[in-house]
């Protein structure tokens, strides 16, 4: 879990092709950051390619298959668990095009809400990694019609 070793996670920014990003609200059963809105992701399974892992996680979490998926980049993620334990994850990030009508919560024990939002109107509270992730890929997201406001990091 990224505590005694570096964990690897595949993360995905899902979009609808019209400037909106899919966010899911973490439930009280979530490992950490309960009640925050996140983009989605999951640990990389042994023997599975990163892109296949991301596609599988999208299907598991949102009950749909990506129409397109592409590699964005990677991030070192340094966080602390709620008990103060430091963690280190490497996030392998993807951009995925989903059809909104085909998207739903497929893991109700992990998520309590789901919505499509423009970055200028993201709900609060956001997961601690959302702003840095969106800002890191702002230029690439712009090529896909997702406009990141200049004051997004404030």
**In this predicted model, what pLDDT tens digit does every residue of 117-134 receive, in sequence order?**
999 999 999 999 999 999
Spell out the domains of the chain, with CATH numbers in brackets: 7-143 (3.90.79.10)
Residue 41 structure tokens: 């992701």
Residues of the chain with pLDDT under 50: none
pLDDT of residue 4: 77
Looking at residue 2, its pLDDT comes to 63
Exposure letters 97-136 (e unless 16+ CB within 10 A, then b): ebebeebebeeeebbbebebeebeebeeebbebbbebbeb
Query: How far, CA to CA in Å, does 51 sit from each of 13, 20, 110, 124, 149?
Result: 13, 22, 22, 29, 28
The answer, as to whether pTM is greater than 0.75, is yes
Q: Which tokens go with 109?
A: 């024990």
Say which residue the tokens 């992701």 belong to.
Answer: 41
pLDDT at 1: 63
* Residue 11: per-residue pLDDT: 98
- Count the neighbouring beta carbons within 10 Å of the beta carbon of residue 144: 15
Instruction: Give residue 140's pLDDT.
Output: 95
Distance CA 5, CA 125 (A): 29
């Amino acid at each position: 879990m990224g505590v005694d070793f570096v964990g690897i996670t595949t993360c995905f920014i899902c979009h609808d092709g019209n400037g909106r990003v899919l966010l899911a609200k973490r439930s009280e059963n979530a490992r950490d950051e309960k009640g925050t809105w996140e983009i989605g992701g999951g640990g990389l399974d042994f023997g599975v390619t990163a892109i296949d892992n991301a596609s599988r996680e999208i299907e598991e979490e949102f009950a749909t298959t990506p129409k397109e998926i592409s590699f964005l980049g990677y991030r070192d993620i340094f966080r602390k668990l709620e008990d103060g334990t430091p963690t280190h994850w490497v996030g392998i990030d993807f951009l995925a095009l989903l059809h909104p009508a085909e998207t739903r919560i497929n893991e109700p024990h992990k998520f309590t809400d789901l919505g499509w939002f423009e970055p200028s109107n993201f709900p609060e509270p956001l997961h601690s990694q959302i702003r840095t992730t969106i800002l890191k890929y702002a230029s690439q997201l712009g090529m896909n019609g997702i406009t990141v406001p200049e004051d997004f990091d404030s």
